[in-house]
Amino acid sequence: MPSFLFWNTNRKPVEQAIVRLARKHNPDLLILAEYPVEREELLAKLNEGERAKYTLPGGFSERLSFFVRLPPDRFVSVTDKPGIAIRRFVPSVGGELLIVAVHLPSKFHATGDDQKYLAVDLQRAIGEAEGRVGHRRTVVVGDFNMDPFEPGLVASHGLHAVMDRRIANRGSRTVNGTECPFFYNPMWSLMGDVDGRSPGTFYYPKSGPVAYFWHMFDQVLIRPTLLERFDQRSLCIMSSDGERSLAGSDGRPDGKRASDHFPIGFRLRD
Amino acid sequence: MTDFWPAVIKETPGLVPPITLLKEAGTDLGDKTNHMLRGQVETNASGGDYDFEHIFYIVAPALDNYRYEILRVLHGITLYPARVIRRPAPNVFAPAVIEDAPDAAQLRKLLQAAFNDPTVQKAVGALLAQSKAA
What are the residue ranges of helices labelled H in A134-270? 151-154, 165-168
Q: What is the pLDDT of residue B56?
A: 96
Q: What is the pLDDT of residue A37?
A: 85
> Which residues of chain A does B96 touch, with a Cβ-Cβ cutoff of 8 Å?
82
In a domain? residue B120: yes
Please state which of the ranges A65-74, A137-146, B73-82 shows the lowest mean pLDDT. Answer: A65-74
Report the interhelical angle of A15-25 vs A39-47 (nearest 10°): 40
In a domain? residue B11: no
CA separation for the pair A86, A126 (Å, rounded) = 8
The CATH homologous superfamily of the domain defined by A3-268: Endonuclease/exonuclease/phosphatase (3.60.10.10)
Nearest chain A CA: its distance from B64 CA (Å): 7
> Which residues of chain A does B130 touch, with a Cβ-Cβ cutoff of 8 Å?
58
Nearest residue to A141 (alpha-carbon basis) of A121, A161, A124:
A161
* Mean pLDDT along residues A36-57: 91
Interface test mutation site (partner B, options A79, A84, A132, A157, max chain B beta carbons within 10 A): A79
Query: What count of Cα atoms within 13 Å lies in the side-chain half-sphere of residue A53?
Result: 10
- Cβ neighbour number for residue A151 with a 10 Å cutoff: 15
pLDDT band at B1 (very low <50, low <70, confident <90, very high): confident
CA separation for the pair A182, A167 (Å, rounded) = 8
pLDDT by residue (tens digit) across B91-115?
555 667 889 999 999 999 999 999 9
**A13 close contact with B: CB closer than 8 A:** no
CA separation for the pair A248, A193 (Å, rounded) = 16
pLDDT band at B47 (very low <50, low <70, confident <90, very high): low
ipTM: 0.72
Q: Which of A79, A88, A109 sits opposite B67 (nearest CB)?
A: A79
C-alpha distances out from residue A106 to A91, A152, A209, A214, B93, Å: 32, 13, 21, 15, 11
- The residue type found at A63 is R
Q: How many helices (H) and strands (E) does chain B have?
A: 3, 5
CA separation for the pair A170, A180 (Å, rounded) = 11
DSSP assignment string, A196-229? G--S-SEEE--SSS---EEE--EEEEE-GGGTTT
Contact A34 B92 (CB under 8 A): yes
Nearest chain A CA: its distance from B26 CA (Å): 17
Q: Residue A222: is its pLDDT beyond 80?
A: yes
C-alpha distances out from residue A26 to A2, A103, A104, B19, Å: 10, 23, 26, 47
A132 to chain B: closest CA residue: B65
Q: Residue A36: is its pLDDT beyond 90?
A: no
pLDDT by residue (tens digit) across A168-209?
999 999 998 889 999 999 999 999 999 889 999 999 988 889
What is the 3-state composition of chain A as percent helix, strand, coil, each rounded to the nearest 5? 25, 30, 45
Percent of chain B's residues with pLDDT above 90: 69
pLDDT band at B89 (very low <50, low <70, confident <90, very high): low
Contact B65 A132 (CB under 8 A): yes
Q: Which of B44, B65, B92 sits opposite A62 (nearest CB)?
A: B92
Contact by Cβ (8 Å): A46, A54: yes
* Mean pLDDT along residues B45-71: 88
> Which residues of chain A does B68 touch, with a Cβ-Cβ cutoff of 8 Å?
60, 79-80
Contact B96 A82 (CB under 8 A): yes
> Which residues of chain B does A58 touch, with a Cβ-Cβ cutoff of 8 Å?
130
pTM for the model stands at 0.86
CA separation for the pair A13, B80 (Å, rounded) = 45
Contact B44 A124 (CB under 8 A): yes
Nearest chain A CA: its distance from B123 CA (Å): 7
pLDDT by residue (tens digit) across A93-106?
778 999 999 999 88
* Mean pLDDT along residues A221-246: 96
**A79 close contact with B: CB closer than 8 A:** yes
Q: What is the pLDDT of residue B28?
A: 97
Contact B64 A79 (CB under 8 A): no
Number of domains present in the structure of chain B? 1
Q: Which of A77, A82, A120 sits opposite B87 (nearest CB)?
A: A82
In a domain? residue B6: no
Tell me how many residue pairs between chain A and chain B have CB atoms under 8 A apart.
44
Instruction: Write out the residue range of the structural domain in which residue B42 sits.
Output: 18-129
Pairing of strands A218-222, A138-143: antiparallel
Q: What is the pLDDT of residue B37?
A: 97
> Which residues of chain B does A80 touch, with a Cβ-Cβ cutoff of 8 Å?
66-69
Q: What's the first-to-final CA gap in chain B, in angstroms? A: 63
* Residue-range domain boundaries for chain A: 3-268
Q: What's the first-to-final CA gap in chain A, in angstroms? A: 5
- Mean pLDDT over the full length of chain B: 90
CA angle A39–A41–A46, rounded 5-degree value: 90
B55 to chain A: closest CA residue: A81
CA separation for the pair A157, A139 (Å, rounded) = 18
What are the residue ranges of helices labelled H in A26-184? 39-47, 112-133, 151-154, 165-168
Contact B66 A77 (CB under 8 A): yes
DSSP assignment string, B17-62? -HHHHHHHHHHHHHHHTTTSSEEEEEEEE--SSSSEEEEEEEEEGG
CA separation for the pair A222, A184 (Å, rounded) = 5
Contact A117 B47 (CB under 8 A): yes
Nearest residue to A190 (alpha-carbon basis) of A96, A115, A265:
A265
Q: What is the pLDDT of residue A132?
A: 92
Q: Which residue has the higher pLDDT, A265 or B2?
A: A265
CA separation for the pair A7, B70 (Å, rounded) = 26
Nearest residue to B131 (alpha-carbon basis) of B58, B79, B71:
B58
